[in-house]
Amino acid sequence: MLWVQVLVNGLALGGLYACIAAGFSLVWGVLNIINILHGSLIVLGGYLAFFAHQSLGVNPFLFAPVAGAITFLLGYLVQRVAINPVMGRPVLMTLVLTFGLNLFLDNAMLAGFKADYRKINLVPPLGVFEIGDIIVPIDRVYATAVGLLLVLALAALLRFTQLGRAIVAVRMDRDAAALMGIDVRRTYAIAFALGTFMAGSAGALLAAIFPISPVSSGGYLGKAFVICVLGGLGSIPGVVVGGFALGVIESYGAMFIGPEHALTLSFLLLLVLLVVRPTGLLGRRGFS
Amino acid sequence: MLVRIGIGLAFVTAAAALLAFGDNYVLRLATTVAMYATLAVAWNIVGGFSGYPSFATAAFFGLGAYAGGLASVAGAPIVGAWIGAGLITAVFATLLGFAILHLRGHYFAIGSLVVADVLREVTNSWVSLTGGGMGLNVPLLGGSTGTQAKIFFVAMALVAVVAVLVSLWIDRSRLGVALRCIEQNEDAAQVIGVDTRRAKVAGFAVSSLLTGIAGAIYASWVSYIDPSDVFDISLSVKPIIMALLGGVGTLAGPVIGAFAFLGLEELIWRNSLEFHAGFLGILVVLLVLFLPGGLGALRGKGAVSWILGRFGRSRK
């Protein structure tokens, strides 16, 4: 029975994890940039939800898209000002650039919000429901459901809208896309902003179930890495598979070797995967 | 050649003057700059020569610090502990290199980045050996604080000199040619018969050897280390910033960058304790956006041009 309970615990986080990684994967796949800033934007989304709940009593699950909209604007601005000039430059440059941006945002949040852990306390608490002996926390189910919904919305946007088709076209071949009349720079900016949208809304969902703090941004970034590599880069189904896989792996890892080693376990897994199968479970050959 | 000898003499004179007249603060700065130069020069062998964006410096530094620290605790003679720590780090890097150096671009960057995280957590958990999160007290050298400061400065400066000489030697050897071929086009390098895997692993190992020794000396120098200090991710990033400042892939660039970076860091630390990481971030962003070629790009623009023209000769 314990085995099933642990499996459920893991699955109950899967959709949220997919949401954490979807934007990261999109930015990596389309812009060929590893956005180190992603973890901090998740934290920022969490704080937005926290303050909205504290001052206005807004439900964090409903607030998630709003938090996303705010980080969308921020992301668009950042891309236009700082990232567009380095598009197409070597990995080292883009990585160091987003690292610098991350240092700045992290430090700004640390100064503004302090390092204390804060948590949204929903009144009344959502509680749990039970199926036989299995306990399922409702807040996690909500978070995973909303997270999955957002991931699906992103997938639909990429699949069915003109904007989404443009993003996919730029990912496949930017020169050909430009020749077809797509404004490549604008498309990059929007794709980046969509990535930060996902980060912000994931943060709001996280804040609804876990305590948040500026110091945890690195952990979220690590999770996004692992999920992308687990599922394979540049595909939405890959992110969903990776998200659920990480949820379950972390859950069993916590059972066998202790919850404090969950991230280390996933990093070790990441290293092994990189060595054995760098394209991920569902992935194609990524961009180098 | 004459210029090179001149620079060498100038450094030796400066070091001698420091030993004779420097107070502990100046010696601390000088030791730090020597350590930074070592890390940046060592990183440059991988990141600059072969163009592989390595974020493994923190892993090697921390491993060296703990290996050296534990050896001293066990009673090993100090210089032996330092060199032994470097060798252990190099063995680790060789194995790691065979595992992750076939990755390219972002995948390699991430792979090298998480190694430090894994090592940090292993160190944290292995309490019986490392003391875990409580840290490790490394035995002090005898003597007054002044004498100790001088000894560590000399040790770190010697390692920095060795690092520069090694990087000079690699640059002129077959290994250097192989690494630069890999930087330009790895597939083509393979086609013309460069054993790319061997070259990459060799570069990685040499780089880690120097980094590990610097870590071990650091451990003895500060005499107390803990996992979050010596496996800190910023240790991976700072050398890259230094190399970017001075010019990636050049011989003198990382050294010049180490001096420039330390100056900026002191300036920032002095003026803002609370927000120094934020300022560092802004600095990095500005650097990448406006001076991607390093300070050398300022050449021909005023006073810096002469100095950089002398020292910052790019070989790329």
Read off the pLDDT band of B314 (50, 70, 90).
very low
Per the CB < 8 A criterion, the answer to whether A15 and A142 are in contact is no
Q: Which residues face B137 on adjacent strands? A: B224
Least confident of A63-67, A92-96, B78-82: A92-96
Mean residue pLDDT of chain B comes to 87
Does the CB of B281 have a partner CB in chain A at under 8 Å? yes
Residue A130 and residue A268: Cα distance in Å, rounded?
A: 34
Size of interface A-B (CB pairs under 8 A): 124
User: Which residues in chain B have their CB less than 8 angstroms from residue A104's CB?
Assistant: 277-278, 281-282, 285
Question: According to DSSP H, which parts of chain A are helical?
Answer: 2-31, 38-56, 60-78, 91-113, 138-160, 162-172, 174-179, 184-209, 217-231, 236-257, 262-276
pLDDT at site B311:
52
Sign of the C-alpha dihedral computed for residues A104, A106, A112 and A114 taken in this order: negative
- Of B119 and B107, the one with more pLDDT: B119
Q: What is the pLDDT of residue B316?
A: 38
What tokens does B267 get?
């300036």
Q: Strands B136-137 and A134-137: what pairing?
A: unpaired
Does residue A274 belong to the interface with chain B, where contact is any CB pair within 8 Å? yes
DSSP result, chain B: -HHHHHHHHHHHHHHHHHHHH--HHHHHHHHHHHHHHHHHHHHIIIIIIS------HHHHHHHHHHHHHHHHHTT--HHHHHHHHHHHHHHHHHHHHHHHTT--HHHHHHHHHHHHHHHHHHHHH-HHHH-GGG-EEPPPPSS-HHHHHHHHHHHHHHHHHHHHHHHHHHHHSHHHHHHHHHHH-HHHHHHTT--HHHHHHHHHHHHHHHHHHHHHHHHHHHSEE-HHHHT-THHHHHHHHHHHHH-TT-SSHHHHHHHHHHHHHHHHHHH-STTHHHHHHHHHHHHHHH-TT-GGGGTTSSTHHHHHHHH-----
Residue A278: φ, ψ to 5°: -65, -10
A267 near B111, Cβ under 8 Å? no
Cα angle: B280, vertex B116, A240; to 5 degrees:
95
Q: For residue A281, what pLDDT is reported?
A: 55
Q: Is A82 on the interface with B (CB under 8 A)?
A: yes
Q: Across residues A2-12, what is the average pLDDT? A: 86
Nearest-by-CA chain B residue for A222? B114
- Residues A133 and B276: their CA atoms lie apart, in Å, by 52
> Can the peptide bond before residue B227 be classed as cis, meaning omega within 30 degrees of 0?
no
Q: A192 or A263: which carries more pLDDT confidence?
A: A192
The residue-averaged pLDDT of A29-38 equals 90
Instruction: Provide the residue count of chain B.
Output: 316
Q: What is the pLDDT of residue A278?
A: 62
For residue B24, pLDDT over 50 is answered with yes
Residue A45 · residue A195 · CB < 8 Å: no
Amino acid B241 reads: I
Q: Which residues pair with B225 in a beta bridge?
A: B136
Contact residues on chain B for A102, CB-CB shorter than 8 A: 281
How many residues appear in chain A?
Answer: 288
Answer yes or no: do A97 and B289 touch at CB < 8 A. Answer: yes
Look at residue A136 in the predicted model and tell me its pLDDT: 84
| Contact between chains at A90 and B51 (C-beta distance less than 8 A) | yes
Asked if pLDDT for residue B39 goes beyond 90, the answer is yes
pLDDT-based confidence at A279, cuts 50/70/90? low
CA atoms within 13 A on the CB side of A131: 7
Reported as a single tens digit per residue, the pLDDT across A209-238 is: 889 888 888 888 888 988 988 887 778 888
Q: Which residue of B has its CA nearest to A109?
A: B278
Band of residue B308 on the pLDDT scale cut at 50, 70, 90: low
| Residue type for position B18 | L
Closest CA to A112 of A160, A41, A47, A208: A47
Mean pLDDT of A105-118: 87
Q: Which residues of chain B make contact with A271, given a CB cutoff of 8 A? A: 99-100, 111, 114-115, 118
Residues 6+ apart with CB under 8 A from A230: A241, A242, A245, A246, A269, A270, A273, A280, A281
Distance in Å, alpha carbon of A91 to nearest chain B alpha carbon: 6
Which B positions 114-133 lie with beta carbon below 8 A of chain A? 114-115, 117-118, 121-122, 125
DSSP-derived 3-state class of residue A136? strand
Tokens of A119: 């948590």
With beta carbons less than 8 A apart as the criterion, state whether A39 and A102 touch.
yes
Note the pLDDT of residue B175: 93
Higher pLDDT, B265 or A266: B265
Contacts of A225 in chain B (CB under 8 A): 110, 114
What is the C-alpha to C-alpha distance for residues A120 and A242, in angstroms, rounded to an integer? 27
Residue for token pair 């076939």: B102
Q: With a cut of 90, say whether residue A153 has pLDDT above it.
A: yes
pLDDT of A173? 85
- Residues from chain A that touch B109, judged by Cβ atoms under 8 A, are 34, 91-92, 95
Q: Locate B314 and state its tokens.
A: 């790019």
Name the B residues in 52-81 with CB < 8 Å from any A CB: 53
pLDDT digits (tens, 9 = 90+) for B67-84: 999 999 998 899 999 999
Domains of chain A with bracketed CATH: 2-276 (1.10.3470)
| Predicted pLDDT at B89 | 97
Q: Which pLDDT score, from 0 to 100, does residue B258 have?
A: 94
Considering chain A, what is the average pLDDT of its residues? 87
The pTM is what? 0.87
Q: How many CB atoms lie within 10 A of CB B36?
A: 25
Instruction: Nearest by CB to A96, from B244, B275, B276: name it.
Output: B244
Nearest by CB to residue B288, choosing from A93, A111, A287, is A93
Query: What is the C-alpha separation between B241 and B261, in angstroms, rounded?
Result: 8
pLDDT at B301: 55
Give how far the C-alpha of residue A254 lies from the chain's centroid of Cα atoms, to the nearest Å.
21
- The rounded Cα A250 to chain-centroid distance in angstroms is 16
Mean pLDDT of B77-99: 95
Residue with the bigger pLDDT between B135 and A279: it is B135
Local confidence band at B30 (pLDDT 50, 70, 90 cut-offs): very high
3-state secondary structure of A268: helix
